[in-house]
């Protein structure tokens, strides 16, 4: 254990203000304040303002409490001591912020710093503690951005560049924060990389990883591949993934469309969610996966583990990059390898987070042998999706395209009227049943003028197949859709939205209304 000379430390601490490693610009005069809210009350506050100099566009302003010269001197001294003497918590899973606070109190007493703090008052100590936690175990200048749950994406584009965010309510905005010191930016990136238990360096300057909070991190290191220095983008992860009821409330789909998809999944139909960046494909995939019967076995295959749903009979497989140099692929485990392995697990459903390459061929082979399949594909329309599937590197034969029973085209759209305080949202614009290559039957679509959905289920080939499978009429299947839609509407009205609660209610419904037995009795 290193012992400190307190007098020596304070004598060295001539600096009474932090070095300029990050710049938080002030809100300009004449800016129109749209909204303000606290993130870490009362220490950090966020203000959304409309700026005339950028044509009335919105910007995101971070305001943090300031330390007085004496407060900064104490903070700096205590931070030096803690960086050497703080021990990790004894219990795994302990609250790291509470642990750091307790250690700060202990070490302040040990080295007599408490006396100086008492002269300043409790409010000063609270401010000092905020900055110690922010800089020791938090994210330094990015701490407010990482703590604001209204932010979906944080984009750091290089040294001395404004950091941009994607706000759930106001969409893309610049912030008032710039990292102006190269070393600070590199250190933040390295810290994030270590938290993700990954490695980034000049030899391996590109990173794609998952933080313990499930936030996705993509990064480049220094000037190896980016002329503006280190860059990274953090895609925030919801602590509680959207359930099918959440998506109904948000308007991504409605009760009848959700009931249709529920019935498709229950009958092991294959589905593909198609859309562009930020369309909400993974959220929809996650909500659909939660509708799989508890007795069915699911195997998921992902590059980054983003899927999370309440299913016990679930094997989660994640790819691994190579750790060799040059052209060597030592230790690489690709999606292609994992999809092949997944078939050995006798799954009812194989779920691939996103298909982009040769793994698509194996997934289609799995669907051809009777396995259910769920996946997402980056494309703007069904036609574009089919072109991607039939072109290199996927090379799916045209005769295999009908193995996808249902295709959902999802987009981020401008809404005709505000919904839940938002002027934009994600919508499943079209739902197609793939009858054959080049023959696609649209069974549902979103009306952008009224923000409602229309259906053509009477022409549904898949519902007709389900009716034939059980020896019942299509009318009986449509009645079952209506009953399920009423249940989903009731769950929304009662505020039952968490995945676990929704799963319980759906399981109870299946027990009380077994399909097709209930349809046969009614028939």
DSSP string, 12-74: H----S--SSEEEPPPPTTPEEEEEEEEETTTEEEEEEE-GGGTT-EEEEEEEPPPPHHHHHH
Q: Quick one: which H or E segment has residue 446?
A: strand 439-447
The sign one gets for the Cα dihedral 67, 70, 75, 80 is positive
CB 244 within 8 Å of CB 262: yes
Of 495, 482, 493, 494, nearest in space to 259 by CA: 482
CB 410 within 8 Å of CB 418: no
CB 216 within 8 Å of CB 353: no
* Rg (the chain; Cα; Å): 27
Domain of 447 in residue numbering reads as: 244-465
57 Rama sector, left if φ>0, alpha if ψ -120 to 50, beta otherwise? beta
> How many C-beta neighbours within 10 Å does residue 435 have?
13
CA–CA gap between residue 290 and residue 311 (Å, rounded): 7
Distance of alpha carbon 505 from its chain centroid, rounded? 26
Of 406, 198, 232, nearest in space to 318 by CA: 198
What is the reported pTM?
Answer: 0.82
CB 347 within 8 Å of CB 371: yes
Asked if residue 238 is part of any domain, the answer here is no
Asked if residue 237 is part of any domain, the answer here is no
Asked if residue 128 is part of any domain, the answer here is no
Q: Taking every pair of C-alpha atoms in the chain, what is the biggest distance, in angstroms?
A: 90
CA–CA gap between residue 222 and residue 185 (Å, rounded): 9
Asked if residue 417 is part of any domain, the answer here is yes
> How many C-beta neighbours within 10 Å does residue 167 have?
19
Q: What is the DSSP string of 366-415?
A: HHHTT-EEEEEEE-SSHHHHHHHHTSTTT---GGGGGG--EEEEEEEEEE
Asked if residue 111 is part of any domain, the answer here is no
Asked if residue 285 is part of any domain, the answer here is yes
Domain count, the chain: 1
Both tokens of 410, joined, read 């999802």
User: With b meaning 16 or more CB within 10 Å and e meaning fewer, what string describes 261-286?
Assistant: bbbbbbbbbbbbbbbeeebbbbbbbb
> How many C-beta neighbours within 10 Å does residue 408 have?
25
CATH number at residue 436: 3.40.50.300
Asked if residue 215 is part of any domain, the answer here is no
Q: What pLDDT tens digit does each residue of the chain (523 aa) get?
A: 445 555 455 555 555 666 678 888 999 988 999 999 999 999 999 999 999 877 789 999 999 999 999 999 999 999 999 988 887 777 766 688 899 999 999 998 888 888 888 888 889 999 999 999 999 988 999 999 999 989 999 999 999 999 999 998 888 999 999 999 999 999 999 999 999 999 999 988 999 988 888 889 999 999 999 999 999 999 988 778 899 999 999 999 999 999 999 999 999 999 999 999 889 999 999 999 999 998 899 999 998 888 888 888 999 999 887 665 555 566 788 889 999 999 999 999 999 999 999 999 889 989 988 899 999 999 999 999 999 999 999 999 999 999 999 999 999 998 888 777 777 899 999 999 999 999 999 999 999 999 999 999 999 999 999 999 999 999 999 999 999 999 999 999 999 999 999 999 999 999 988 888 766 666 5
Look at residue 230 and give its three-state secondary structure.
coil
Asked if residue 197 is part of any domain, the answer here is no
Give the CB-side neighbour count of residue 297, counting CA atoms within 13 A. 10
Give the CB-side neighbour count of residue 13, counting CA atoms within 13 A. 22
Of 351, 360, 368, nearest in space to 309 by CA: 351
Residue 266 has phi, psi (to 5 degrees) of: -60, -30
Q: Match 């303000």 to its residue by tokens.
A: 36
């Amino acid at each position: 254990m290193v012992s400190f000379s307190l007098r020596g430390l304070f004598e060295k601490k001539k600096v009474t203000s932090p070095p300029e490693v990050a710049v938080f610009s002030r809100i300009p005069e004449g800016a129109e304040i749209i909204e303000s809210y606290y993130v870490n009350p009362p220490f950090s506050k966020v203000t959304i303002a409309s700026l005339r100099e950028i044509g009335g566009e919105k910007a995101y302003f971070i305001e943090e409490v300031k330390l007085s010269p004496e407060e900064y001197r104490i903070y700096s001294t205590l931070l030096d001591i803690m960086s050497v003497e703080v021990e990790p918590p004894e219990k795994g899973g302990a609250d790291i912020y509470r642990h750091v606070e307790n250690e700060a109190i202990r070490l302040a007493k040990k080295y007599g710093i408490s006396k100086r703090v008492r002269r300043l008052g409790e409010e000063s100590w609270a401010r000092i503690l905020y900055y110690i936690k922010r800089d020791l175990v938090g994210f330094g200048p990015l701490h407010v951005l990482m703590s604001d749950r209204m932010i979906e994406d944080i984009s750091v584009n290089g040294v001395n560049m404004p950091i941009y965010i994607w706000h759930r309510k106001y969409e893309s905005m610049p912030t008032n924060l710039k990292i102006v010191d190269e070393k600070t930016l590199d250190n933040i990136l390295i810290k994030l990389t270590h938290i993700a238990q990954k490695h980034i360096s000049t030899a391996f300057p590109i990173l794609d990883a998952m933080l313990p909070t499930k936030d996705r991190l993509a990064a480049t290191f220094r000037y190896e591949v980016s002329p503006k220095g280190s860059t990274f983008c953090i895609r925030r992860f919801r602590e509680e993934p959207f359930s099918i009821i959440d998506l109904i409330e948000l308007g991504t789909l409605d009760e009848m469309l959700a009931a249709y998809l529920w019935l498709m999944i229950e009958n092991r139909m294959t589905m593909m969610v198609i859309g562009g960046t930020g369309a909400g494909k993974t959220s929809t995939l996650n909500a659909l996966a939660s509708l799989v019967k508890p007795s069915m076995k699911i195997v998921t295959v992902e590059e980054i583990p983003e899927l999370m749903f309440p299913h016990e009979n679930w094997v989660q497989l994640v790819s691994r990059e190579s750790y060799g140099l040059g052209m060597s692929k030592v230790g690489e485990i690709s999606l292609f390898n994992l999809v092949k392995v997944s078939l050995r697990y006798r799954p009812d459903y194989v779920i691939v987070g996103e298909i982009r390459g040769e793994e698509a061929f194996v997934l289609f082979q799995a669907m051809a042998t009777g396995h259910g399949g769920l996946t997402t594909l980056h494309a703007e329309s069904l036609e574009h999706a089919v072109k991607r599937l039939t072109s290199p590197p996927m090379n799916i034969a045209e005769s295999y395209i009908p193995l996808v029973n249902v295709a959902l085209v999802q987009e981020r759209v401008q809404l005709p009227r505000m919904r839940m305080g938002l002027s934009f949202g994600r919508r499943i614009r079209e739902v197609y049943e793939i009858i054959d290559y080049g023959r696609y039957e649209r069974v549902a679509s979103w009306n952008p003028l009224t923000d409602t959905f229309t259906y053509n289920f009477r022409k549904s080939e898949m519902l007709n197949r389900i009716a034939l499978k059980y020896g019942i009429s299509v009318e009986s299947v449509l009645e079952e859709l209506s009953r399920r839609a009423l249940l989903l509407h009731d769950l929304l009205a009662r505020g039952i939205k968490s995945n676990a609660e929704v799963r319980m209610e759906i399981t109870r419904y299946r027990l009380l209304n077994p399909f097709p037995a209930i349809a046969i009795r009614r028939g």
